[in-house]
RNA sequence: GCUGGCGUGGCUCAGGGGUAGAGCAGUCGAUUCGUAAUCGACAGGUCGAGGGUUCGAAUCCCUCCGCCAGCUCCA
């Protein structure tokens, strides 16, 4: 029998008979490996355990506890779910069923619309399929065979996918009566699945195209062990408790009213206070870094937006305000750029003035469509730390880096750095109508941005079709507690609007030249940042950001005066303080302050009053002992001044 | 905008054709208390809005508004 040489990840070579399967190799190594094995990687290609090795190769055996193994498991569970849905609703047509971060989904097209109760039914059917321990097999077929197979079933969506696989090997996986177009690999039997859960149902357009039919998507997850699944589900529940939309209302940061409408939150005193602190912090820091503040109108005649291109490219996102007659249309501003450009243009500019850094705490209005609004994250009116750096071509790199340095400083100070990632958002060359400017300029600017990022050694992803209509962006992304991704900060290089608004400066040689504009935010949108902070800290803001920093709690009515006196001292020192004067027991007051997530509680009773002290309790550390009010003030002032994170 | 779910006092929820219920929060009274819930009383709702079916609608039907998740779109 012919022997082949198989190289394992540790570098060792195993000689096996030609035709030996991956599973056999695993068996030959150890029973434990065999049990945990889900698939193999042969010469960098993922394959099933049943794959026979025909020639010398490198082989990694993927186990269920690895990231790749988990992916295989979840993909198989997605098939089991599709099989179950097919058994329960035989008229179901299948869409796609990929794995995603933390789980999988499958899209279905059927007349019946799934209810949450259906998920339980489907889970029960899946459990049966797992009990049946069906063998999962791979079959490679030709394009014609594939077309025939799925035409007979009326699987229109699968046929569309097959059409795009023209030059590739088409494979079908079968388990019992069920089969599906799939690249694989998969577990080798349904019985290997130990722990899964279906999570929710939602609509999703076929191929992500809103012009095409909407299918029903079921999300689920799976883990090698039940305990891991349970742990994950607990984690999900815990995350929901941090939801800014729930906590923000409970903590009286903001509220909404049906009378006001969607996407228009009302900031309550505590929420407004946090926003004010953030805003002052940003404005002061920008001033230190050479920004000039502007204050421009919330609306303009449409003429301005026509010139900037917003009217043509952004009209759907704008609120229009009718004027006295047809031609006198106004619009609320969706961005501040054109206004600041007019300030720049108000006189002739010299190269000596550049770079000019304009900053504005800009309130913007965007007419988001009704299904998009969410808490403080997607709203129709918001305030953003918007700025425009007008510079020469030679200054772009240093200005870009300066903007990014400010951003990173902000993220570090707020403790958010570890929660974000960077994305180079490029245009979509197949969709030129969405943009202004020439393809060459787009490519050149994107390359320039890439070079800057690379020279900083910054790690980033690239994303096509995510650019602004006037230029590419560096977006700084974060996830909310539901795992949904949002842009929180952005830096953009704009070569188009300076042209459209005819910005210029007089250069050293006396010639008029075109400047470049960098659009940037430093913490982005204040409302969205507040939402992130609420979720990051579960409402327990670092002391410098806390709307109430100290709560003074008299042990009984007899000490209310002393409590008020103490609070007065703190207030003079600029500390945000409240006194709980309710005729309640101390435990009750502490509980109240804990639930409001106030950083410090000062308990005052006879012992404190007689010795002119306060008993300090920290929301996390508990009782930290007595000290004089002045000592406490010194301590907390220091904590606030250094913007200490918990 | 699309799909699905949901709207009952400030909050969390029960009731599901026969004239609105609990807990917490609030107010008042009693208690004057030492590190996460003292006791009692009171008050609070045109059951999201508007139409319809019915002798009778919080409950069934329709439209709209709002909330939640996802898709699409975007900071």
User: What average pLDDT score do residues A309-319 get?
Assistant: 90
A393's tokens? 């071509």
The pLDDT of residue A279: 96
- Spatial separation of the C-alpha atoms in residues A184 and A458, rounded to whole Å: 34
Write the pLDDT tens digit of every residue in A600-642: 999 999 999 999 999 999 999 999 999 999 999 999 999 999 9
Q: Which whole number is the average pLDDT over A292-313?
A: 93
pLDDT at A60 over 80: yes
pLDDT over 90 at A477, yes or no: yes
Residue A617 exposure: Cα atoms within 13 Å on the Cβ side:
20
Distance CA A39, CA A50 (A): 8
pLDDT at A169 over 90: no
- Triad A531, A100, A95: Cα angle to 5°: 120
pLDDT for A10 equals: 87
Chain A 378-417, CB < 7 Å to strand B = 378-380, 382, 384
Q: Is the CB of A538 under 7 A from strand B?
A: no
State which fold the A3-63 domain adopts: Ubiquitin-like (UB roll) (3.10.20)
* Average pLDDT of the segment spanning A182-209: 92
Q: Which CATH number fits domain A254-281+334-537: 3.30.930.10, 3.20.20.70, 3.90.1560.10, 3.40.50.10800?
A: 3.30.930.10
Annotated domain spans of chain A: 3-63, 68-229, 254-281+334-537, 550-641
Distance CA A556 to C1' B41 in A: 23
Amino acid A313: pLDDT: 87
A109 CB less than 7 Å from any atom of strand B: no
Q: Is the pLDDT of residue A327 over 80?
A: no
Q: How far apart are CA A331 and CA A73, in angstroms?
A: 53
Residue A255 CB in 7 A reach of strand B? no
Q: Does residue A205 lie within 7 Å of nucleic acid chain B, judged by its CB?
A: yes
Spelled out in words, what is the top-level CATH class assigned to the domain A68-229? alpha beta
A484 touches strand B (CB under 7 A): yes
| Residue A594 Cβ under 7 A from any strand B atom | yes
pLDDT at A205 over 80: yes
pLDDT of residue A436: 87
Q: Considering only CA atoms, which residue is closest to the C1' of nucleotide B49?
A: A258
The pLDDT tens digits for A380-428 are: 999 999 999 999 999 999 999 999 999 999 999 999 999 999 999 999 9
Tell me what the mean pLDDT of segment A189-218 comes to: 93
Find how far residue A281's CA is from the centre of its chain: 24
Q: A483 beta carbon < 7 A from strand B?
A: yes
pLDDT of residue A280: 97
Contact flag, residue A527 CB and nucleic strand B, below 7 A: yes
Q: Find where tokens 């870094």 sit.
A: A289
- The nt closest to A116 (CA vs C1′) is B5
Mean pLDDT of the residues in chain A: 93
> How far is residue A18 from each of residues A44, A45, A55, measured CA to CA in Å?
19, 18, 7
Residue A619: CB less than 7 A from any atom in strand B: yes
The C1' atom of B21 and the CA atom of A257 lie apart, in whole Å, by 26
CA of A265 to C1' of B11 (A): 18
State residue A15's pLDDT score. 86
Torsion of CA A454, A455, A458, A463, to 10 degrees: -30
DSSP A449-517: HHHHHHHHT--EEEEET-SBTTB-EEEEEEE-TTS-EEEEEEEEEESSHHHHTT--EE-TTS-EE--EE
pLDDT for position A115:
83
Residue closest to B25, CA→C1'? A592
pLDDT at A88: 93
Beta bridge partners of residue A512, listed in sequence order: A506
Nucleic acid strand B within 7 Å of A75 CB = no
| Strand B nucleotides in reach of protein CB atoms, 7 A cut-off | 1-5, 7, 11, 26-27, 30-38, 48, 65-75
Q: What is the pLDDT of residue A125?
A: 95
The candidate with the shortest Cα–Cα distance to A76, out of A199, A220, A177, is A220
Q: Is the CB of A468 under 7 A from strand B?
A: yes
Q: Which residue is nearest to nucleotide B32 (CA to C1')?
A: A556
Query: How does strand A622-627 pair with strand A320-321?
Result: unpaired
Find the Å distance, CA of residue A558 to C1' of nucleotide B2.
62
Contact yes or no for A604/A563 (Cβ under 8 A): yes
Mean pLDDT to the nearest integer, A43-56: 88
In the structure, how far is the CA atom of residue A257 from the C1' atom of nucleotide B46, in angstroms?
19
Q: What pLDDT score does A433 carry?
A: 83
Question: What CATH number belongs to A550-641?
Answer: 3.40.50.800
Q: Is it the case that residue A1 has pLDDT exceeding 80?
A: no
Report which of residues 310-369 in chain A place their beta carbon less than 7 angstroms from any atom of strand B.
Answer: 317, 366, 368-369
Which pLDDT band holds residue A116 (cuts at 50, 70, 90)?
A: confident
- Cα(A44)–Cα(A603) distance, integer angstroms: 65
Q: Average of pLDDT values for A156-166?
A: 89
For β-strands A266-267 and A99-100, DSSP reports them as: unpaired
**Stated in angstroms, how far is A228 CA from B37 C1'?**
35
For the stretch A499-538, pLDDT in tens is 999 999 999 999 999 999 999 999 989 999 999 999 999 9
What ipTM describes this predicted complex?
Answer: 0.94
User: What is the mean predicted confidence (pLDDT) over A527-556?
Assistant: 96
Which residues lie across from A21 on neighbouring strands? A52
Let me know: does A584 contact A613? Beta carbons within 8 Å.
no
The pLDDT score that the predictor gives to residue A59 is 87
CA→C1' distance for A542 and B32 (Å): 34
Residue A586 Cβ under 7 A from any strand B atom = yes
Asked if pLDDT for residue A363 goes beyond 80, the answer is: yes
Asked whether residue A203, judged by its CB, lies under 7 Å from any atom of the DNA or RNA strand B, the reply is yes
Q: What is the mean pLDDT of residues A136-163?
A: 91
Q: What is the pLDDT of residue A265?
A: 93
How far apart, in whole angstroms, are the C-alpha atoms of residue A623 and residue A616?
Answer: 6
Report which secondary-structure segment, H or E, holds A346: none
- State the Cα–Cα distance between residues A39 and A26, nearest whole angstrom: 10
- Which pLDDT belongs to residue A401? 96
Q: Is A604 helix (H, G, I), strand (E, B) or coil?
A: strand
């Amino acid at each position: 029998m012919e022997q082949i040489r198989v190289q394992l990840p540790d570098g060792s070579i195993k000689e096996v008979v030609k035709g030996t399967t991956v599973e056999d190799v695993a068996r030959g190594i150890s029973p434990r490996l065999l049990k945990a094995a889900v698939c193999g990687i042969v010469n960098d290609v993922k394959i099933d355990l049943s794959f026979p090795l025909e020639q010398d190769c490198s082989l990694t055996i993927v186990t269920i506890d690895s990231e790749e193994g988990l992916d295989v498991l979840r993909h198989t569970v997605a098939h089991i779910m599709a099989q179950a849905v097919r058994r329960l609703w035989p008229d179901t047509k299948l869409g796609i069923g990929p794995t995603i971060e933390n789980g999988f989904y499958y899209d279905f097209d059927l007349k019946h619309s799934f209810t949450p109760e259906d998920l339980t039914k489907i889970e029960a059917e899946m459990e049966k399929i797992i009990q049946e321990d069906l063998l999962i097999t791979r079959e490679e077929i030709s394009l014609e065979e594939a077309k025939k197979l799925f035409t007979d079933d009326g699987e229109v969506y699968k046929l569309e996918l097959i059409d795009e696989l023209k030059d590739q090997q088409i494979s079908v996986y079968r388990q019992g009566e069920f089969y599906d177009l799939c690249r694989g690999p998969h577990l080798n039997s349904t019985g290997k699945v130990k722990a899964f859960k279906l999570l929710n149902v939602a609509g999703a357009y076929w191929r992500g195209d809103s012009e095409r039919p909407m299918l029903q998507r079921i999300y689920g997850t799976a883990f090698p062990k039940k305990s891991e699944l349970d742990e994950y589900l607990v984690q999900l529940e815990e995350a929901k408790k941090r939801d800014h939309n729930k906590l923000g209302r409970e903590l009286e940061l903001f509220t909404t009213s049906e009378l006001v409408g969607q996407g228009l939150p009302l900031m309550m005193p505590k929420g407004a206070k946090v926003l004010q602190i953030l805003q002052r912090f940003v404005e002061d820091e920008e001033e230190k870094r050479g920004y000039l503040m502007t204050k421009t109108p919330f609306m303009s005649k449409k003429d301005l937006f026509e010139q900037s291109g917003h009217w043509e490219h952004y009209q759907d996102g704008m609120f229009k305000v009718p004027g006295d007659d047809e031609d006198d249309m106004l619009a609320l501003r969706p961005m501040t750029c054109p206004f600041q450009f007019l300030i720049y243009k108000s006189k002739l500019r010299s190269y000596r003035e550049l770079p000019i850094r304009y900053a504005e705490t800009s309130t913007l209005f965007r007419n988001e469509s009704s299904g998009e609004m969410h808490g403080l994250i997607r709203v129709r009116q918001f305030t953003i730390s918007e700025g425009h750096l007008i510079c020469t071509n030679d200054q772009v790199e240093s200005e870009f880096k300066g903007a990014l340095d400010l951003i990173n400083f902000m993220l570090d100070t707020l403790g958010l750095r570890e929660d974000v990632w960077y994305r180079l958002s490029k245009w979509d060359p197949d969709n030129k109508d969405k943009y202004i400017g020439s393809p060459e300029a787009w490519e050149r600017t994107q390359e320039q941005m890439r070079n800057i990022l690379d020279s900083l050694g910054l790690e980033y992803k690239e994303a096509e079709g995510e650019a602004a209509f006037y230029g590419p962006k560096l977006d700084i992304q974060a996830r909310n507690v539901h795992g949904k991704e949002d842009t929180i900060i952005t830096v953009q290089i704009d070569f188009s609007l300076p042209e459209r608004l005819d910005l210029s400066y007089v250069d050293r040689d006396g010639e008029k030249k075109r400047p470049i504009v960098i659009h940037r935010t430093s913490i982005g949108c204040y409302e969205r940042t507040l939402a992130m902070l609420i979720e990051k800290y579960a409402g327990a803001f670092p002391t410098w950001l806390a709307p109430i920093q100290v709560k003074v709690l008299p042990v009984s009515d007899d000490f209310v005066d002393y409590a008020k006196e103490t609070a007065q001292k703190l207030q003079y020192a600029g500390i945000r303080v409240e006194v709980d004067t309710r005729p309640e027991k101390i435990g009750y007051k502490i509980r109240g302050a804990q639930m409001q997530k106030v950083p410090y509680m000062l308990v005052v009773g006879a012992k404190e009053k007689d010795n002119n002290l306060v008993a300090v309790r920290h929301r996390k550390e508990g009782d930290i002992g007595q000290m004089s009010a002045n000592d406490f003030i010194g301590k907390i002032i220091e904590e606030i001044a250094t913007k200490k994170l918990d």
